[in-house]
Amino acid sequence: ASSRAAVFAHAEDVRRDFGTAHFVVNNAGVSVVGTVAHLSIEEIEWQLAINLWGPIYGTKAFLPMMLAQREGCIVNISSVFGLVGFPLQSAYNISKFGVRGLTECLWSELEGTGVRAVCVHPGGIRTSIEKSARRAQAAGDEEAAFEGMADRMLVTPPEKCAADILAGVERGRKRILTGNLSTTLYWLARLLPNAYPAVIRALAK
């Protein structure tokens, strides 16, 4: 997903083999655990290359054919960490807030084109992302503690998440919340936009 050439080549393969695309799900994601102070620029760049540039490439590669046929749906996977800033997930937050911004901008830009954009905010889904997560090289005790907390939060089966996404797309939803704490964090950000960090710190303990 971080290779622009590979994503655009895949889009051309789809066009050649199937004629067009009707649904695109930009789902690639990784995580690096670390505070802003502990993360290196290179670690942040690695995170953004996959989590943010991947959906940008996927959108740009497939959007032209969808606009040409005046039909299609781009599903971008953000996160609950695209709704709230979460300690020790700074690079991940940047990427997922970026995916949210991209998708919400498309809501307006695609109006009347026949093409839809959907933003998904999964909560604690039990995928393998925590096993493949990196830890900042300059990490301290804070980062080590986060890993145990992540294991407690990642409880929703991925099958449930996938079913919620498909159901939401079928119903025409623009935003889909799914997984552990997703609804809680959504409303927390909306109702306490300036005060929610105190609640987040309590959850993170």
Concerning whether 57 is annotated as a catalytic residue, the answer is: no
Residues 43 and 88: their CA atoms lie apart, in Å, by: 13
Long-range contacts of 40-46 (CB under 8 A, 24+ apart): 40/136, 40/137, 40/138, 43/91, 43/134, 43/136, 43/137, 44/90, 44/91, 44/94, 46/134
The residue type at 6: A
Residues 65 and 5: their CA atoms lie apart, in Å, by: 17
N- to C-terminal Cα separation, the chain: 33
DSSP string for residues in 15-59: HHHHS--SEEEE-----EEB-TTT--HHHHHHHHHHHTHHHHHHH
Catalytic residue among 57, 92, 186, 196: 92
What SS3 class is residue 132? helix
Write out the catalytic residue numbers: 92
